Structure 1
Amino acid sequence: MRGNPALTEPRWQTILPDEAATEAFGKWLAERVQRGDILLLYGDLGAGKTTLVRGLARSFGYTGRVTSPTFTLVHEYEGQVPIYHFDLYRLDEPDHVWEIGWADYLRGEGILCIEWPERLGSLLPEEALTIRLSHLEESPCSEAGDPVIDGRLVEVTGRGEHSEALVKEWKATCMS
């Protein structure tokens, strides 16, 4: 395990103009990730982390409610591929994740989506997709020249061979 979430190349980014686009990005990710993948979701409150997870879970057939597991630390969404959605915002000590079965979740049976992964410290997984969502400070224009409302910048970085290969592929083909 490595505790340094520093960004490394390759890096891929896009703009998500609204909540619907953020959920669609989660669905787009679902077509490209696989069991055992770990998504480290960075971003301020309201940046769209849970919305992204909702799109991912819906793509795998989960029809229930998707909410941030702020008080329970983890929600499980059962579909064709299970999604394990962590919110570590209230985690006091990194070692407390062992109490909720952290080792079991790392076995690769589903996709781990971890909000506030910096709370893991030295338990941060080596192989992961780092996804940073941030509010746009200036509202750029769409291709049609219309201003983007409530936009988010999403930046994805791969750590580890599999994740880096995914990001390189995305950079080459761009999001369709």
Structure 2
Amino acid sequence: MLPDESATEELGRWLAERVQPGDILLLHGDLGAGKTTLVRGLARSLGYGGRVTSPTFTLVHEYEGRVPIYHFDLYRLGEPDQVWEIGWADYLRGEGVLCIEWPERLGGLIPDEALTIRLSHLDEEGETVGVRVNEVEGNVAAGRIVELTGLGERPEALVKEWRETCTFLGSTVPPA
């Protein structure tokens, strides 16, 4: 549970301490679920001082910091093969961290090794995807549920570490 926007940014800061060039973050969630907020926390923590916005119309924004971030928003992507037109092969070379909003639009082009981050915004009753979370203290309606899943050795290790050490800004992590 991430109780507010600052906790979502804090997850980005936590990731910033651990990401390496070549890491891929697949960001799932409805509009307004916090995908760009998470990328903002990551980018700022890696030393990027500019504005972080969703690249909805340009498909990709680049943020320079200690580790470059390539922030994709594939919401408006018509066909998976269109990513080749924006230099997909170059981004996959591993020089920075790829943060991909709406990765399901990639179809079969989703990389084999990635950290999947699924964000769900809670409604006024504290419900999302049929899950009742009224037991969580704080402003439930402003919160989000986050689920991390690792595909591959390194992403799986990140998920394990997150479960063992997650203590940021009032978030709660269910036991493994």
Is it true that 1:162 corresponds to 2:148 in the alignment?
no
Contact 2:3 2:139 in 1 (8 A): no
Is it true that 1:44 corresponds to 2:30 in the alignment?
yes
Candidates 76, 89, 105, aligned match of 1:103 = 89
Percent of residue pairs bearing the same amino acid type: 78
Within 2, Cα distance between the matches of 1:89 and 1:133? 16
Report matched runs for 1:27-176 at 5 Å.
27-137=13-123, 138-139=125-126, 140=134, 142=136, 145-176=137-168
Q: Secondary structure at the match of 1:71?
A: coil
How many residues get paired?
160
Residue 118 (structure 1) shift? 0.1
Structure 2: gaps (5+ residues) = 127-133, 169-176
Within 1, Cα distance between the matches of 2:166 and 2:55? 31
Q: Secondary structure at the match of 1:85?
A: strand
Within 1, Cα distance between the matches of 2:31 and 2:24? 20
Within 2, Cα distance between the matches of 1:34 and 1:52? 17
Deviations 1:1-58 (A, max 9, x none): xxxxxxxxxxxxxx11111111111111111221110000000000000000000000
Contact 2:12 2:39 in 1 (8 A): yes
TM-score by length of 1: 0.86
Q: For residues 85 and 146 of structure 1, do their structure 2 counterparts lie closer, same or farther at Cα, with a shift above 3 Å needed? A: closer
Contact 1:26 1:55 in 2 (8 A): yes
Q: Secondary structure at the match of 1:86?
A: strand
Greater relative contact order (Cα < 8 A, sep 6+): 1
Within 1, Cα distance between the matches of 2:109 and 2:148? 20
Residue 141 (structure 1) shift? 5.2
